[in-house]
Amino acid sequence: MFVERSKIVACYLAALLIVYIISPSVSHAGSRSCRIDDLQSCRHCVQLNSTLAGKDPNIGEYYRGALWSGLYASYVLNCQSIGRDLLERGANANAGGDYGLFSVTLTQKWPHNRKEINLQWLRLIRTHGLSAKWTSPFSKQNSIEIVNSGVIVPDYRDIWEELRKGGSDE
């Protein structure tokens, strides 16, 4: 029985080695480098911080319905100190996330599924001009129009109501 298990383990390890040698892109998919033109590839705050250091705080790419700005990547990874730094360096508090609208993004459960994290980000970003009335250059709509049309249904209605009624109107 020990010999059979050893053969199974050896076969499994050999198969893993073959996959590693033949398709390195598959074996390294989880460790892609974090690049300024592919911020969704960033996996942790240290990596994101070094990628964004010295770069335009508003740099980003609109990809599959979301603006992957440095601020949005910071939000996805919950790197609040990086987000604060980007905002202090002039990042647009409104630009990022679903449809390029940060205020819509903050009302959704994904990626944290923890309302308190969204509230922390709301407090951070609100002081830098966050507005549900800001129009995204990508969707050509503001958050109020997106929500009223039913395209996005806020997961956190209370956050949405706070954004819709209050905050900055810049």
pLDDT digits (tens, 9 = 90+) for 56-74: 999 999 988 899 999 999 9
Please give the pLDDT value at position 23.
34
Question: How is residue 97 written in tokens?
Answer: 């996330």
List of domains in the chain: 34-165 (1.25.40)
What is the Cα–Cα distance from 157 to 147, expressed in whole angstroms? Answer: 11
Instruction: State whether the Cα torsion 160-165-167-170 is positive or negative.
Output: positive
Q: φ and ψ at 52, to 5 degrees?
A: -85, -15
pTM of the complete model: 0.78
What is the percentage of the chain residues whose pLDDT exceeds 90? 74
CB-facing half-sphere around the CA of 106: CA atoms within 13 A: 30
Query: Which one has a higher pLDDT value, 133 or 5?
Result: 133
Q: Is the pLDDT of residue 45 over 70?
A: yes
Residue at 57: amino acid letter: P
Q: Is the pLDDT of residue 16 over 60?
A: no
